């Protein structure tokens, strides 16, 4: 996997603030009016550690909406520091003929789209200024030029569990490269926090987020999409600005264990302990006779899980999968 130097540009050219978003709390980087200085300081800090990097990434904000002359300066800053490969994250509504030409001219290696949801009702309720049609078109247009990654959320305001699973199923079929899955967190410096305090928004339950992320992970992995993040990084998730939300520092491991429990319940003869050794606890019979699995086995396992469990996402969230999610949630309380 490529070693990527991350540069965070919180709220850069967002234009509006989504009800759930606090990029400063997530990244730990304070917003700065001078984006060049902000980026330059981060690059210097990372390079001072002596680590070599294959690529630079501009995250946070809405990169393709930053003023053109500032984007050119950021590209030049990357080149001057020895980077030949650049990727960035942006919103779907910023992908147009101008930005597509720039992506091609500057040989951008990957564009990561903060899609979050493909449900127009959910997008509007959360302050996302685009439609599902715009989001899908942006993915398709980028894929005609370079690689594309997506970010999706679960547990958003007015979002159903099966909706986010269906979003992943659709996007997984588009030959995208990477995906990030984020359960919704309630940050204090957001409109969502006020809605949470008033009772208008109910924070997502951990078991529900295991279910949702598990379904999303299975769809992506079955289609060879690399899931590069599930849940917030530990430093962000332990931020005192988080008031509520389904979080666990081992969320990614929990989701993978959830997938393996489904597979083992289908009769898959594999030896997988997983989070808090739950696999061994629930499927101890003949456990030592089975084979260990490798990371490369997850694709085939997810294909089988998808075939057996995910033909109907509404049934998925109410059946045996739900009981495994609840079991894993209970294990998070055991030391």
pLDDT of residue 119: 98
The residue behind tokens 């690059």 is: 43
Residue 114 within a domain: yes
Q: What is the CATH number of the domain that holds 125?
A: 3.30.750.200
| Domain containing residue 138 | 91-255
pLDDT at 240: 72
pLDDT for res 238: 62
Tally of structural domains, the chain: 1
Mean pLDDT by 10 residues, the chain (335 residues): 87 71 57 82 93 92 90 95 95 96 96 98 96 98 98 97 97 98 93 97 96 98 97 72 90 96 89 88 74 85 95 86 95 73
Alpha-carbon distance 296 to 301, whole Å? 10
171 found inside a domain = yes
227 found inside a domain: yes
pLDDT for position 28? 47
DSSP assignment of 243-269 equals EEE---TTHHHHHHHHHHHHHHHTT--
103 inside domain: yes
Q: For residue 329, what pLDDT is reported?
A: 96
Are the beta carbons of 249 and 234 closer than 8 angstroms?
yes
Residue 277 lies in a domain: no
Can you give the pLDDT at residue 127?
A: 94
pLDDT at position 287 is 67
Overall pTM > 0.85: yes
Beta pairing class for 185-187 and 242-245: antiparallel
């Amino acid at each position: 996997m490529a070693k990527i130097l991350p540069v965070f540009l919180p709220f850069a050219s967002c234009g509006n603030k989504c009800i759930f978003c606090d990029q400063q709390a997530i990244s730990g980087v304070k917003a700065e009016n001078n984006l060049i200085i902000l980026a330059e300081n981060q690059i210097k800090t990372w390079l001072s550690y002596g680590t070599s990097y294959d690529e630079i990434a501009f995250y946070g904000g809405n990169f393709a909406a930053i003023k053109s002359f500032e984007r050119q300066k950021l590209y030049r800053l990357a080149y001057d520091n020895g980077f030949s490969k650049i990727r960035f994250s942006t919103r779907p509504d910023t992908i147009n003929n101008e930005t597509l030409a720039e992506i091609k001219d500057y040989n951008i290696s990957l564009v990561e789209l903060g899609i979050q949801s493909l449900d127009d009702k959910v997008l509007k309720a959360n302050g996302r200024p685009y439609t599902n049609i715009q989001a899908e078109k942006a993915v398709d247009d980028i894929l005609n030029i370079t690689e594309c990654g997506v970010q999706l959320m679960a547990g958003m305001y007015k979002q159903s569990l099966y909706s986010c699973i269906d979003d992943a199923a659709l996007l997984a079929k588009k030959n995208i490269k990477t995906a990030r899955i984020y359960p919704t967190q309630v940050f204090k410096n957001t409109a969502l926090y006020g809605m949470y305090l008033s009772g208008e928004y109910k924070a997502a339950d951990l078991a529900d987020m295991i279910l949702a992320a598990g379904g999303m992970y299975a769809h992506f992995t079955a289609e060879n999409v690399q899931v590069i993040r599930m849940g917030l990084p530990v430093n962000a998730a332990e931020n005192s600005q988080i008031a509520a939300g389904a979080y666990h520092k081992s969320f990614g491991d929990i989701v993978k264990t959830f997938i393996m429990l489904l597979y083992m319940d289908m009769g898959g003869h594999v030896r997988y302990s997983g989070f808090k050794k739950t696999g061994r606890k629930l499927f101890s019979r003949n456990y030592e006779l089975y084979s260990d699995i490798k990371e490369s086995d997850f694709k085939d396992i997810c294909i089988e899980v998808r075939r057996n469990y995910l033909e109907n996402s509404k049934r998925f969230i109410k059946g045996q999968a739900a009981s495994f999610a609840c079991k894993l949630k209970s294990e998070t309380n055991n030391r």
